[in-house]
Amino acid sequence: MTYLELKGLEKKFDGAAKASVDGVDLAVDKGQIVVLLGPSGCGKTTTLKMIAGLIPTTSGEIMLDGKSILDVPADSRDVSMVFQKPLLFPHMTVAQNIGFGLKMRGVKQAEIDLKMAEALDLVKLNGFGKRKVHQLSGGQEQRVSLARALVIEPKLLLLDEPLSALDAELRLEMRELILSIKQKLGITIMFVTHDQQEAVMLADRIALMVDGKIMQFDEPHAFFMRPRTRRVAEFFGWTNFVPAIQKGDRVTCSFGEFVFEGIEAHDGPICLTIRPEAAVLCPGGEGYLAVVRRAVYMGTRIDYEVDCLDAKLGISLDSNRLYAHGDELSFRLVPSKMWAVRCDDKSICDNRVVWDLSSPAKTTN
């Protein structure tokens, strides 16, 4: 059942040319983790801060547990937040930091001590109570920050890129911790990040946010199978875009005709999008004939840019066979790794290869 609901949420800062948050609709169920994913500056932190009550909204509605919280001040919302920096109060001990929220709620000291110890146990920092903030490492600080946010048993926990400042190993540890906490406490969580892998690992549902708007709100696997628009596809590593024509649930292009069940009805030009893993080598020469233009060795796989049927494609093949510039290869495409998307504001689908930003081979035209 819906626990947190955002309706038409908008935020336009004074003097800004356009809105930072441009009409966001979102419904989060109780006990879910929803990840707000998007590139820097897309408005996700602003959205979070509006939910927390730290920034006033320009328009729209925020409902928590069935009631509007728009007029409720930040300190009464029962929504706690963990920021990118741990923000532990430096003049207090770890115990005092964790107990702060409880103290604000008038809880008696004895009970604070009890809950504080439980919280420390939850984040695996038992016995750290007496330590001073400056004695902690970065990862420990962030765990204390988490404990501090959880000990007050909030209705909603907001996390604003809390792991960005940590090194890779710590990040993995913390993700596991967050998942286990969610399971143990059944708490509703909204998590903001720009890291796609992090989103996929943590989320029950992902909301992809670009330029202040939600592009797609779905379970993680849907982004790898059924992206809604080209922007979404590009963000999730759908490397290839080929102009095509859609009629009903059939999509036709130079590579042939494909049937996509359940695709949004739209008769007219569309973009066929193909995952780089969709290509499978055809030894016998059947399949599409392609000439290699570029090859980048990635370890277990090799990323190729090939010319095929007057389109450029980016495909990823196993690394047990090396093709070089100018070589010919033939491959077929696995339909389950293809889909068709609209080109956002572009009516014409331009054929470009868009690699993952984490890949060394960048976009080519």
Partner 1 sequence: MKETKTWMMLLPAIAVIALLFVGPLLYSVLLSLNFFSITSNQMIGVQAYADILSDHRFYDSLVFSMQIAAVSTLVSIVIAIAVSMTLRRTFVGKKIATFVYQFNIPVPHLVVAISVLLLFSQTGLVSRALYTLGLVTNPSSFPLIVFDQNGTGIIIAFVLKFFPFIGISVLSLLLTTLNDYEDQAATLGANAFRRFRYVLLPMMTPSILFSSIFVFAYAFGSYEVPFLLGSSSPKALSLLAYQDFTNVDLNLRPAAMAIANIITLVVVGFVILAYLQLNAMNRRAVREQ
| Residues in touch with partner 1 (CB under 8 A) | 49, 52-54, 73-77, 79-81, 83, 85, 87, 89-91, 100-101, 104-105, 134, 148-149, 152, 158
Q: How far is the CB of 89 from partner 1 (least distance, A)?
A: 6
If the CB atoms of residues 89 and 297 are measured against partner 1, the closer one turns out to be: 89
Which of these, 92, 52, 44, lies nearest to 213 by C-alpha position? 44
CA–CA distance, 363 with 198 (Å, rounded to integer): 23
Element (H, E) at 170: helix 168-185
Check: CB of residue 74 under 8 Å from CB of residue 240.
Answer: no
If the CB atoms of residues 73 and 262 are measured against partner 1, the closer one turns out to be: 73
CA–CA distance, 231 with 38 (Å, rounded to integer): 11
Q: How far is the CB of 355 from partner 1 (least distance, A)?
A: 36
Q: How far is the CB of 229 from partner 1 (least distance, A)?
A: 34
Which three-class secondary structure state does DSSP give residue 236?
Answer: coil
Work out the widest C-alpha separation in the chain, in whole angstroms: 77
Q: How far is the CB of 143 from partner 1 (least distance, A)?
A: 15
If the CB atoms of residues 75 and 169 are measured against partner 1, the closer one turns out to be: 75
If the CB atoms of residues 189 and 206 are measured against partner 1, the closer one turns out to be: 189
| Residues near 16 by beta carbon (within 8 Å), at least 6 away in sequence | none
If the CB atoms of residues 158 and 203 are measured against partner 1, the closer one turns out to be: 158
If the CB atoms of residues 73 and 299 are measured against partner 1, the closer one turns out to be: 73
List alpha helices for 29-167, DSSP H. Answer: 44-52, 94-104, 109-122, 138-150
Which of these, 222, 162, 226, 217, lies nearest to 195 by C-alpha position? 162
In a 10 Å sphere around its CB, with 0-12 CB exposed, 13-18 middle and 19+ buried, how is residue 204 labelled? middle
| Residues near 153 by beta carbon (within 8 Å), at least 6 away in sequence | none
φ, ψ of residue 77 in degrees (nearest 5): -80, -10
If the CB atoms of residues 136 and 292 are measured against partner 1, the closer one turns out to be: 136
Q: How far is the CB of 227 from partner 1 (least distance, A)?
A: 34
Check: CB of residue 145 under 8 Å from CB of residue 177.
Answer: no
If the CB atoms of residues 32 and 80 are measured against partner 1, the closer one turns out to be: 80
Type of residue at 125: L
Q: How far is the CB of 49 from partner 1 (least distance, A)?
A: 8
Token pair recorded at residue 137? 């490492």
If the CB atoms of residues 71 and 261 are measured against partner 1, the closer one turns out to be: 71
Q: How far is the CB of 149 from partner 1 (least distance, A)?
A: 8
Half-sphere exposure of residue 297: CA atoms within 13 angstroms, side-chain side: 7
**Pairing verdict, β 2-11 and 59-64:** antiparallel
Q: How far is the CB of 98 from partner 1 (least distance, A)?
A: 10
Q: How far is the CB of 92 from partner 1 (least distance, A)?
A: 8
Check: CB of residue 222 under 8 Å from CB of residue 189.
Answer: no
If the CB atoms of residues 90 and 299 are measured against partner 1, the closer one turns out to be: 90
Q: How far is the CB of 54 from partner 1 (least distance, A)?
A: 5
